[in-house]
DNA sequence: ACGTCTGGTAAGTATCGACTTACAGTAAGT
DNA sequence: ACTTACTGTAAGTCGATACTTACCAGACGT
């Protein structure tokens, strides 16, 4: 859940999504990632830091270079949140269709 | 895809996620939503505007009140993006395990 | 040891966005 | 018609953040 929150915030930035999409093709070094992006290398480093804290990527040292790769952890947390939300929404959706006269849910509690 | 992009940006904000979670329990009017949140009612209106443009909620007029509800459209687009990304990442993940000497992907093209 | 390659970090800027109050407009009740 | 209820929008403020250049540190080859 806390991972899911950070993951959503991380994926909100278009540049970070581009970084992730390129990492989805396989692990890369920082310089390789920055080469195909319209931002500077330090900017990519900062984005990778955010992605790492969100559990979306992992890094390993390899000589002087640092290799980044996709980490399934953060993605799993986000998918779990979406699945739970998806099911809950559909459930309420069908319940709503059964009682169309209660569309405003006026009698339901505001705060659980 | 364009819907998925807007949806990620929309879910990046904690307040908007809270709005969505409350809507998952059933359709509500703006005032009802704002009553349980620590922000003002106009703020909720602006959040709902963003959520609507992302295809995550739909609204219908009902007298003087405006009822908002979950719209499966945006959620579906986001799940589709995640599923595609997820599969692609796992595929590259397993391919990486088969050729552990090529961990840097040094010979792969940088830009497709 | 020295120069080179690689990448993280500091400092600064500038844009974006989340929030507020104030105002305007529409719908229903008296 | 007048009041009340409900909501969207405008204007403005303030903090977050995405980006830049400059600097610094570790790993490798000569």
Q: Chain-wide mean pLDDT for chain A?
A: 82
pLDDT band of residue A110 (cuts 50, 70, 90) is: very low
A50 contacts A10 by C-beta, under 8 angstroms: yes
Q: Residue B31 has what pLDDT?
A: 96
Give me the residue label for tokens 């809507």: B23
What is the distance in angstroms between the CA of the first residue and the CA of the last residue of chain B?
19
Q: How far is A13 from chain B (nearest CA, A)?
A: 7
pLDDT at B107 over 60: no
Q: Which residue has the higher pLDDT, A59 or B5?
A: A59
- Name which of B36, B62, B70 is nearest A93 (Cβ-Cβ): B70
3-state helix, strand, coil in chain A (%, to 5): 60, 10, 25
pLDDT at B99 over 60: no
Task: Give contacts of A93 with chain B, Cβ < 8 Å.
Answer: 69-70, 72
Listed as ranges, the nucleotides of chain C within 7 A of a protein C-beta are 5-10, 17-22, 25-28
Q: Residue B63 has what pLDDT?
A: 92
Q: Chain-wide mean pLDDT for chain B?
A: 82
A4 contacts A78 by C-beta, under 8 angstroms: yes
Give the residue with minimal CA–C1' separation from D18.
A43
Q: How far is A110 from chain B (nearest CA, A)?
A: 7
Q: Residue B78 has what pLDDT?
A: 80
A11 contacts A1 by C-beta, under 8 angstroms: no
Nearest residue of chain A to residue B93 (CA atoms): A26
B12 contacts A17 by C-beta, under 8 angstroms: no
């Amino acid at each position: 859940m806390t991972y899911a929150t950070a993951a959503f915030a991380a994926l909100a930035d278009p540049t970070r999504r581009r970084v992730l999409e390129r990492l989805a093709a396989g692990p890369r070094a920082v310089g390789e990632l920055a080469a195909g992006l319209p931002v500077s290398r330090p900017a990519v480093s900062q984005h990778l830091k955010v992605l790492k804290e969100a559990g979306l990527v992992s890094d390993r040292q390899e000589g002087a270079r640092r290799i980044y790769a996709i980490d399934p952890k953060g993605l799993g947390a986000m998918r779990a949140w979406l699945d739970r939300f998806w099911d809950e929404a559909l459930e309420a959706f069908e319940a709503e269709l059964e009682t169309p006269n209660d569309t405003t849910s006026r009698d339901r509690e505001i705060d659980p």
